[in-house]
Amino acid sequence: MKMFLATICITAVSLIASGCATKKYVRNTVEPVQAKVDQVDQKTTQNGQQIEQTRADLKNVDDRATNGINAAKESASAADSHATDAMNRANQVGQTADKAGQTADQAVQASTKNSQELGSLRGVVANLDDYQLQSSVSIPFDFDKYTLTNEAQESLDKLAQDVKADKRYFIALEGFTDNVGAKEYNEALSRRRADSVERYLVERDVPLYRVHMIGLGEAKPVDEGRTREARAKNRRVEVKVYSADQATAPLNASK
């Protein structure tokens, strides 16, 4: 019995010793593998972090590239806009130059026309010494008025009819006012009175180039008095017809 118990004890001790040896073996075998696994896991984590960093870097590069492209597009658009503005300004300058050229042409034409008219007038009044006063009439006006009365129109009708037979003549119109009112106003009023007479004569087929008018305001009063009658005499347009036909009459008779 004792031998049996001893055998059991020896066996148990052997099994225990054998179990301890197995655990140590397993531990010595597994620990290096676990270390390798841990190293691989750490490397994997590092690789994942590097991959994420690379992705972030790539995203930053892409963002910068996109921003650069957008900036380049904006610069190109701005340059195109500036070019368009410059072209528009150039067109405007060209149009202004064209208008200036047209204005210059018109000025030349007007100057030519004026020269022709002046030449014609000089031809009509080639020698003022030949022109003598042929007839005259005084056209009266109401106070502060420049419209023609019926009597004034009748006088002008007769004058227009008489000059139709003349070849070389001109008509001088001198407008006047009384001394009531401001000087500047009276000068303007005297011109309007002379202009009314001029228009009436032109409407009666008197050539415009033969009529010369001026407004003299309060100047040259025919009556220095201060009465109503004196002032009425000064509100007038003096119409004077000058003719040179009598100077050329002997020449025409000799022919």
Q: Domain segments of the chain: what residues? A: 1-101, 128-254
Q: What contacts 216, CB < 8 A, 6 or more positions away?
A: 174, 175, 176, 187, 190
- pLDDT single digits (tens) 132-158: 999 999 999 999 999 999 999 999 999
- Mean pLDDT score of the chain: 76
Pairwise CA distance, residues 30 & 164, whole Å:
145
- What tokens were used for 100? 């200036």
Residue type, 68: G
Whole-number pLDDT of residue 255:
45
- pLDDT single digits (tens) 167-225: 899 999 999 999 999 999 999 999 999 999 999 999 999 999 999 999 999 999 999 99
- CATH architecture, range 128-254: 2-Layer Sandwich (3.30)
**How sure is the predictor about 246, in pLDDT bands with cuts at 50, 70 and 90?**
confident
Pairwise CA distance, residues 250 & 169, whole Å:
17
Q: Order of strands, edge to edge, in the sheet holding 132-140?
A: 132-140, 236-243, 169-175, 211-215
Judge if pTM exceeds 0.85: no
Does 29 have pLDDT greater than 70?
Answer: no
Instruction: Evaluate whether 134 touches 244 at the Cβ level (below 8 Å).
Output: no
| pLDDT above 90: percentage of residues in the chain | 42
